[in-house]
């Protein structure tokens, strides 16, 4: 005979009987992980739209960690891969795209003429100069959606989650 247990009501007031050993019913469409991912996509659309308004309609979210790495002083492909937690092959493909788009250039390393390092081109510098404004405009878009207090609260919560996963802070973590 299977023992039935009544699960307590969740924050949405849902309850349900289940048999012992059966998985707890869980709403796969309305859970925090899915909502975080979907809200990231909304934020991504806003950010890319704002970047396009500034003349950078070719930038993708996958380019941003590479751009940020170079902006904080990382100049070698292996360092970019390490900092952004991607493979060297992926880093190489992203760097090649950014070179072809005119954001990056490989130049001789002044310390080792055989090696190449990455530097921003004029277009890359222009993007990085405008990027703080693009981020602020995107945050204002989000304030319009949820309000300033809720966005501040969400920011605090997300910082706590990020820090709990290894101590990365917004200033040291790759985006």
pLDDT tens-digit profile of 7-28? 455 555 555 555 666 776 677 7
Torsion of CA 136, 65, 62, 158, to 10 degrees: -60
Tens of pLDDT, residues 48-96:
999 999 999 999 999 999 999 999 988 888 899 999 999 999 999 999 9
Q: What is the reported pLDDT for 146?
A: 96
Q: What is the reported pLDDT for 15?
A: 53
Whether the CB-CB separation of 24 and 18 falls below 8 Å is answered with yes
Whether the CB-CB separation of 67 and 124 falls below 8 Å is answered with yes
Residue 148: pLDDT above 90?
yes
How far is the CA of 101 from the CAs of 60, 66, 71, 126, 137, in angstroms?
11, 14, 17, 13, 24
Q: How far apart are CA 162 and CA 120, in angstroms?
A: 29
Q: How far apart are CA 87 and CA 19, in angstroms?
A: 45
Whether the CB-CB separation of 119 and 74 falls below 8 Å is answered with no
Q: How far apart are CA 140 and CA 148, in angstroms?
A: 9
Enter the CATH code of domain 39-164: 1.10.10.10
Q: Which helix (H) or strand (E) holds 5?
A: strand 4-7
Q: How far apart are CA 56 and CA 98, in angstroms?
A: 12
Residue 174: pLDDT above 50?
no
Query: Which stretch of 20-29, 71-80, 105-114, 149-158 has the lowest confidence by average pLDDT?
Result: 20-29
Whether the CB-CB separation of 74 and 80 falls below 8 Å is answered with yes
- Where along the chain do its domains lie? 39-164
Residue 172: pLDDT above 70?
no
Q: How far apart are CA 141 and CA 94, in angstroms?
A: 28
Measured CA angle at 96 (ends 90, 97), to 5 deg: 90
Q: What is the reported pLDDT for 165?
A: 87
At 4, the pLDDT band (50, 70, 90 cuts) reads: very low
Residue 175: pLDDT above 90?
no
Residue 169: pLDDT above 60?
no
Burial class for 75, CB neighbours closer than 10 Å (0-12, 13-18, 19+): middle
Q: What is the reported pLDDT for 8?
A: 54
């Amino acid at each position: 005979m299977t023992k039935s247990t009544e699960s307590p009501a969740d924050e949405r007031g849902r309850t349900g009987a289940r048999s012992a050993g059966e998985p707890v019913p869980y709403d796969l469409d309305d859970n925090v992980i899915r909502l975080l991912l979907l809200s990231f996509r909304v934020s991504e659309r806003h950010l890319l739209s704002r970047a396009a308004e500034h003349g950078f309609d070719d930038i993708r979210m996958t380019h941003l960690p590479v751009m940020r790495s170079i902006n904080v002083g990382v100049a070698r492909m292996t360092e970019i891969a390490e900092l952004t937690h991607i493979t060297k092959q992926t880093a190489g493909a992203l760097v090649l795209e950014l070179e072809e788009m005119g954001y990056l250039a490989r130049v001789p390393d002044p310390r080792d003429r055989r090696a190449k390092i990455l530097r921003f081109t004029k277009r890359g510098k222009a993007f990085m100069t405008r990027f703080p404004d693009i981020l602020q405009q995107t945050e204002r878009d989000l304030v319009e959606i949820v309000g300033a207090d809720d966005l501040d609260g969400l920011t605090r919560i997300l910082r706590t989650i990020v820090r709990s996963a290894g101590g990365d802070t917004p200033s040291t973590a790759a985006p």
